[in-house]
Amino acid sequence: MSTTTDVTITATPLEPGIHEAPIGVPAAASARWARDDGSALVTEYLAHEAGTDRVLAGARVRRRPHTASAVITGAFAVEGADRERALEGIVERIVEDARALGEPLIKWEALVVDELDPAGQGFRPLAQPHHSGAGTEPHILGWVRDLVEWPRAEHPYYRQTTEFTCGGAAVLLALGAAGTSLLGPDRRANRLAELDVWRTATNMPACDPYALATAVTRLAARHGARTVEVYLDTDDPVLLEHLDDADEIALRADLQELAALDLDALGVQRHRSRLSMTDLARAVGDGAIALLLIDLTSLIDDPTPHWVTALTARGDLVLIDDPWVETSIGESWVVTHELVVRAEQLESIVTWGSGYRGVILLKP
């Protein structure tokens, strides 16, 4: 507990589950307080008039497990003379807690109808995402406040439009970060671009590392100069764990072999070694863009293989765009855009199946 003049600030970590909004939370914010947050780590911040139960302001802060990204959501301040001081006290406490955890930034999810001004609390607006699916609607706004010096270029976020086209969406995000965006204001054209990348790399329905690397190599060559390298520390076919039919497994294995031959013909270096996440952070910090094959279990409790894009890094902190938004547990694009994960945590996240690791680097 901390006190700012006559305002008392409390921070309460919440257990998983659905929680009722505390008394005093305005109806406009209560829906973002009383919901199932799944596996998210949620802390409830409230500002009270000192010595009373009167709520002056509040906010919920959510984090995906194993990440270093705090997101303010459901922030409010009631009308009255103490409104600004109470809100400032809430934000100061959130910043203090984030600094203590070594987090480099805090994001703020706001709605167009919200009355609060994050800019007045030191936040700057994030680029509005491409409206590409649930959680990216135009009424959802994003703000960010950097807690460390971290110069970086920001690129509009894109959410995959199906449950299985993460590879295609991750490639579009990677090309955008590399300076060659294939995305624009036309939602239909963006979806077709996503599906086009996916269909050239899919092993039905997943995209294996070699096929996805082939697709991104050809696109990079067509739209801009980038050197592609692939790391896959197994000689066995991958992403086939869900299959039990021998003929189907053989077919998928042959398709992956063909993708490997395509990479060799394109002159792409295929590393059979395991890339450490410290080395990944170093490469991304030096200007590479990376596509990472991850296990979603650690992030949203969903045991699914998935592709994400690493955009930049600062030391061991890697900035990631995840094209999947888990709206069923209250996520929006503000959570999955500019998601920070430490290299140490990525060691267990960037893996699948028997423990193999797939990484595609787009090097400058």
| DSSP-derived secondary structure letter, 103 | -
The CA–CA distances, whole Å, from 341 to 87, 150, 315, 349 equal 28, 15, 11, 10
Rounded to whole angstroms, the Cα distance separating 53 from 325 reads 36
Neighbours of 294 (CB within 10 A): 24
Return the pLDDT at 79. Answer: 82
| DSSP-derived secondary structure letter, 7 | E
Full pLDDT tens readout for the chain, 364 residues: 554 558 899 999 998 877 788 888 888 888 888 888 999 999 999 999 888 888 999 999 999 999 999 999 999 999 876 788 899 999 999 999 999 999 999 999 999 999 899 999 999 999 999 999 999 999 999 999 999 998 788 999 999 999 999 999 999 999 999 998 999 999 999 999 999 999 999 988 899 999 999 999 999 988 777 899 999 999 999 999 888 899 999 999 999 999 999 999 999 999 999 999 999 999 999 999 999 999 999 999 999 999 999 999 999 999 999 999 999 999 999 999 999 999 999 999 999 999 999 999 999 9
Strands 105-111 and 70-77: parallel
Strands 269-271 and 227-232: parallel
Burial class (CB in 10 A: 0-12, 13-18, 19+), 192: exposed
Q: In the beta sheet, which residues pair with residue 108?
A: 72, 143
Return the pLDDT at 31. Answer: 84
Q: Which amino acid is at 90?
A: I
Q: Which amino acid is at 141?
A: L
Residue 193 host element (H or E): helix 187-201
Rounded to whole angstroms, the Cα distance separating 19 from 312 reads 36
Q: What global pTM score does this model have?
A: 0.95
Return the pLDDT at 6. Answer: 84
